[in-house]
Structure 1
């Protein structure tokens, strides 16, 4: 699977200003607001290193000394200081042209010098509509965690585009129009056609089925409540019988205690006499 080249999005300018991470050290600041780009720590490559080379690759036929120097300059070009690079260019050496890079999804493409292009040229449609649709698609396809990450990079939730149809646009802003204008627009609407006999029968059948289902649900609910009431009545009757038995035992025990109290008092009086 092809890995996407990492990039930074300006936190102030949003998607209108972005740069690839490996170019942030050269550019240093955003070309729109002047804010500094964050430092980029290059991740180690996950590609396996080649541990062998064929003899043909080690020493190809016709490999000249000036070719080695040219290759060495290309490999070390990024490490040269700007002064050294300018001196080599002034001497007639041309650096290797970088391949045209495609912008990540939802971001405008880069023009010459690493800046965002202004359009497609005279007579051609500009990119804002294409950019907005890509931005909208990127936001809708992202999860909540991805949206939070995009927000940290400077993305904002894209606002829904206005409908291009005049009728839809008027209906969307109907509440902001004067009352007289709303009445005039309503009078222009064609009256709704009366439903045919077949449509009336289908509508009545649909309502009848819905009411029948609601009635069935109410009957089932009533039956369930009645079962609970019967169980509660049986439980109440059982508890009432238990209460009566306890009251009887309580009365008997009260009489026994009263009798024992009288016997105790008589014995105490006879012993004292």
Structure 2
């Protein structure tokens, strides 16, 4: 870094320092507008009448503010949706919550085994787990569907939940985080006669809170936004989740844009609340999980 630039950083009140700060703030403002623009437009359209259609030039604000679209969508009273949106909301919550619970339990156990236990083929097995991260999910659709069909898991909530637990990312994240933890407490507990599972449950799990929250948020959001697996496995509309249910607002001739945007906004609310409330654990888990190989 040049001495001139260091001087500007030390004295931000200089004219050149003010210009640099102004440029940085302007750049961040433009990025923020581009990022938030679609969401603001979504909310604006959702507050317009049900028969609203895109026009040129677009209207950024509704002439009259109305929440009727949110009420109609939630109660299933739109022209193309004859069932309550609440049912799809519950399905999404069950799928996301169930898959998150399964992933947290099994991936944390597997991550602990790879980080702390010595067994034959450990490194080869872990390499195979990492290889699954590089496999496109599209490749798994047909074999998983055929297997689930043989097991009777097609068109069931259990089947939809289990499809979202496939993958090695969670195992990798847990293993990396556990390797950053000191092993002295675990060794002392083992010497005092504590079982290996007792060490994991009583000592390791409490220290894994940031990583568990991080993995939980990632899994919950991915399952909440999942479209292909519920569409492929669910034959009955009663099993659809929110992303699949959004297709109800697109008819063969026209699309109900205002109700569709209201439904999309309702779908987004839980994700925003989850991320904002857990943001500090989310960031900390990622940072600490990548400190040690």
Q: Shorter-chain TM-score: what band?
A: under 0.3
In proportion to residue count, which structure has more helix?
2
TM-score, normalised to structure 2, is 0.16
Q: Whose strand fraction is larger, Structure 1's or Structure 2's?
A: 1
Which protein shows a greater Rg?
1
